[in-house]
């Protein structure tokens, strides 16, 4: 049986791991390769690395890091942050990334999803969506959650799927950093709407939240950062907790 | 022992190379005919689309070379699918090492396609080490090889399909052993330990 995936996310700035709570404040949590190896040993199903200070100057530094990660890590990983062209993605694929996630660039130029899916296959293309509830609709934001757009979560996710996205990584900005649980209602609606896997992000605070995101939110995978980095929810305990409660877990 | 990893226009060949490094195996990534023929073991990896990769193999005369190899050959993911006779993906004639048709997953109960993530393999009389029966491997694919007389491991998604194949000196896995943590590395060891 296909299992639900637990995905630690490592935010990277100048080759080091950081975690921005609510996208703003930043704390240093160490060497990405060492942390990633530890998570792989502890049973992480995948890893995500986000270059949060992506600029043209440090693009090369990041691809060197991606190569080091690929050399040492024996589980799949996704990289994202500032990817805005097929050439950017190609550099990361060549360095050993299994998937890339695109966010702002896809909102600006949706055609990029089609181009990347055609060049590398849908399995390589994760479309990351940051959204926030403004009144009733979920409004998509770009630039690390700073800029509201005219796109809405559900229609944008459907469009991304049609254009060839292989997965949707949905971060609820309302839940991110709160540790009060994932955006269950929005996730469950996304799952009904889409035929590609959905990764839930934003709000993980305890083991029960993962139970909810899989059972009620119907997510295929759940992503979290600080609760893993600071040891609040150890991965092996989390996996045992979910297994004991009959969630399909590796 | 020298391993040749076949170089062609498929993605993520680098990951297989890094897996060989982690196992301490001497390897090369090559499309050089003599180098491939002389290798003790050959790995045919790949992520990508069937038609464009088969076209590439034909243009570079790697299609006939792969079929005629005598040493143990391991096809991985797209590599395994290309070893079959035909793929429904863009109506593609493949190498024909396994006389099977590669089919597209059709969801029965709103299952997601691609089949992406960790799923368990069931072994019987397989070249894969028996201790790996019921362990989880990492899969990413939208097309599958049905269960047939050469099936060496079965995985269930939408319906049971071939997670591994074997016929003569040709071995194949649908999952990615190079991305399946330590159990995946054990599958690679099973292959590397096959007597030449």
Give the single-character DSSP code of B119: E
Question: What total number of domains does chain B contain?
Answer: 1
Q: How far is CA B127 from CA B22, B82, B130, B152, in A?
A: 22, 20, 8, 7
pLDDT recorded at residue B48:
82
pLDDT, one tens digit per residue, over A50-70 is 998 876 667 778 899 999 999
Q: How far apart are CA A83 and CA A101, in angstroms?
A: 8
- Indicate which residue of B115, B141, B150, B176 is catalytic: B176
Residue of A nearest to B184 (CA): A74
Asked if this assembly's ipTM is beyond 0.90, the reply is yes
User: Does A227 fall in a domain?
Assistant: yes
Which chain B residues are Cβ-neighbours of A76 within 8 angstroms? 138, 140, 176, 179
Tokens 């509830």: give the residue: A133
Q: What CATH number is associated with residue A120? A: 3.20.20.70
Q: How far is CA B117 from CA A75, B112, B113, B147, in A?
A: 11, 11, 11, 20
- Is B184 in Cβ contact with A74 (below 8 Å)? yes
Question: What total number of domains does chain A contain?
Answer: 1
Domain carrying residue B30:
2-192
User: Is B176 known to be catalytic?
Assistant: yes
pLDDT recorded at residue A57:
65
Domain carrying residue A224:
5-244
Which chain B residues are Cβ-neighbours of A2 within 8 angstroms? 115, 117-119, 157
- Indicate which residue of B77, B94, B100, B141 is catalytic: B77
Which chain A residues are Cβ-neighbours of B11 within 8 angstroms? 93, 120-121, 124
User: Does A81 fall in a domain?
Assistant: yes
Task: Provide the chain A residues 210-229 that lie in CB contact (below 8 A) with chain B.
Answer: 220-221
Of residues A5, A123, A250, nearest to B47 (C-beta): A123
Q: How many CB atoms lie within 10 A of CB B86?
A: 17
User: Pairing mode, if any, of strands A5-13 and A16-21?
Assistant: antiparallel
Q: Is the peptide bond before B114 cis (omega within 30 degrees of 0)?
A: yes
Say if CB B44 and CB B74 are below 8 A apart: yes
Task: Provide the chain A residues 54-113 that lie in CB contact (below 8 A) with chain B.
Answer: 70-72, 74-76, 93-96, 98
The residue count for chain A: 250
pLDDT recorded at residue A226:
86
Average pLDDT by consecutive 10-residue portion of chain B (196 residues)?
Answer: 92 90 97 96 91 93 97 97 97 98 93 94 93 96 96 97 98 98 97 92
Q: How far apart are CA B1 and CA B27, in angstroms?
A: 9
pLDDT recorded at residue B106:
95
Q: How many contacts, defined by CB atoms under 8 Å, are there between A and B?
A: 89
- Is B19 in Cβ contact with A74 (below 8 Å)? yes
- Indicate which residue of A130, A176, A212, A220 is catalytic: A130
- Is B157 in Cβ contact with A195 (below 8 Å)? no
User: Does A250 fall in a domain?
Assistant: no
Residue of A nearest to B48 (CA): A121
Q: How far apart are CA A233 and CA A226, in angstroms?
A: 9
User: Does A61 fall in a domain?
Assistant: yes
Of residues B119, B184, B185, nearest to A2 (C-beta): B119
User: Does A99 fall in a domain?
Assistant: yes
Q: Is A136 on the interface with B (CB under 8 A)?
A: no
- Is A40 in Cβ contact with B114 (below 8 Å)? no
pLDDT recorded at residue A166:
95
pLDDT recorded at residue B119:
98
Torsion of CA A60, A65, A66, A70, to 10 degrees: 140
User: Is B94 known to be catalytic?
Assistant: no
User: Does A68 fall in a domain?
Assistant: yes
Average pLDDT by consecutive 10-residue portion of chain A (250 residues)?
Answer: 96 77 43 88 95 76 92 96 92 92 96 93 94 94 92 98 97 95 98 96 97 98 91 93 97
- Is B21 in Cβ contact with A71 (below 8 Å)? yes
Of residues B14, B138, B176, nearest to A94 (C-beta): B14
Distance from CA of B182 to the nearest CA of A (A): 7
Among the listed residues B98, B47, B178, B179, the one whose alpha carbon sits nearest the alpha carbon of residue B188? B178
Which chain A residues are Cβ-neighbours of B137 within 8 angstroms? none
Task: Work out the angle at residue B120's Cα, subtended by the Cα atoms of residues B40 and B187, and round it to the nearest 5 degrees.
Answer: 15
User: Does A161 fall in a domain?
Assistant: yes
Q: What CATH number is associated with residue B131? A: 3.40.50.880
B11 bridge partner residues? B47
pLDDT recorded at residue A56:
65
Tokens 């979290």: give the residue: A224
User: Does A26 fall in a domain?
Assistant: yes
What is chain A's alpha carbon radius of gyration, rounded to the nearest angstrom?
17
Q: How far apart are CA A81 and CA A74, in angstroms?
A: 22
Helix (H, G, I), strand (E, B) or coil at B173: strand
Which chain B residues are Cβ-neighbours of A247 within 8 angstroms? none
User: Is B115 known to be catalytic?
Assistant: no
The answer for B90, left when phi > 0, alpha when psi is -120 to 50, beta otherwise, is: left
Say if CB A157 and CB A190 are below 8 A apart: yes
Q: How far apart are CA B178 and CA B45, in angstroms?
A: 10
């Amino acid at each position: 049986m296909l299992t639900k995936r637990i995905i630690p996310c490592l935010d990277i700035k100048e080759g080091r791991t950081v975690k921005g709570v609510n996208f703003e404040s930043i704390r240093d949590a160490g060497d990405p390769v060492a942390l990633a190896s530890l998570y792989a040993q502890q049973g992480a199903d995948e890893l995500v690395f986000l270059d949060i200070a992506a600029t043209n100057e440090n693009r090369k530094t990041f691809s060197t890091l991606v190569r080091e990660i690929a050399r040492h890590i024996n589980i799949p990983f996704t990289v994202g942050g500032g990817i805005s062209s097929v050439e950017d993605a190609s550099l990361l694929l060549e360095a050993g990334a299994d998937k890339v996630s695109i966010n702002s660039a896809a909102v600006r130029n949706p055609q990029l999803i089609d181009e990347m899916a055609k060049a590398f296959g849908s399995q390589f293309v994760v479309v990351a969506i940051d959204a926030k509830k403004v009144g009733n609709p979920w409004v998509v934001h770009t630039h690390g959650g700073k800029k509201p757009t005219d796109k809405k979560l559900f229609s944008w996710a459907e469009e991304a799927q049609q254009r060839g996205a292989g997965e949707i990584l949905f971060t609820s900005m309302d839940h991110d950093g709160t540790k009060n649980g994932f955006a269950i209602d929005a996730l469950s609606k996304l799952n009904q709407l889409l035929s590609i896997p959905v990764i839930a992000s934003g709000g993980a605070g305890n083991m029960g939240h993962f139970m909810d995101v899989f059972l009620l939110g119907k997510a295929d995978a759940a992503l979290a950062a600080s609760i893993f980095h600071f040891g609040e929810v150890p991965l092996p305990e989390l996996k045992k907790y979910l297994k004991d409660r009959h969630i399909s877990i590796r | 022992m020298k391993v040749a990893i076949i170089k062609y226009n498929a993605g993520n060949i680098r990951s297989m190379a890094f897996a060989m490094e982690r196992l301490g195996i001497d390897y090369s990534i090559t499309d050089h005919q003599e180098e491939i023929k002389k290798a003790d073991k050959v790995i045919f990896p790949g992520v990508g689309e069937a038609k464009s990769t088969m076209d590439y193999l034909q243009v570079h005369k790697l299609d006939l070379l792969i079929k005629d190899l005598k040493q143990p050959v391991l096809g991985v993911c797209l590599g395994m699918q290309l070893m079959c006779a035909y793929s429904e993906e863009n109506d593609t004639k493949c190498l024909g090492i396994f006389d099977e048709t590669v089919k597209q997953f059709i969801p029965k109960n709103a299952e997601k396609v691609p089949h992406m993530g960790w799923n368990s393999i069931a072994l019987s009389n397989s070249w894969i080490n028996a201790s790996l029966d019921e362990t989880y491997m990492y899969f990413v694919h939208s097309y599958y090889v049905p269960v047939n007389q050469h099936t060496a491991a079965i995985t269930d998604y939408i319906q049971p399909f071939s997670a591994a194949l074997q016929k003569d000196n040709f071995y194949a896995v649908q999952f990615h052993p190079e991305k399946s943590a330590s159990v995946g590395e054990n599958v690679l060891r099973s292959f590397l330990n096959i007597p030449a």
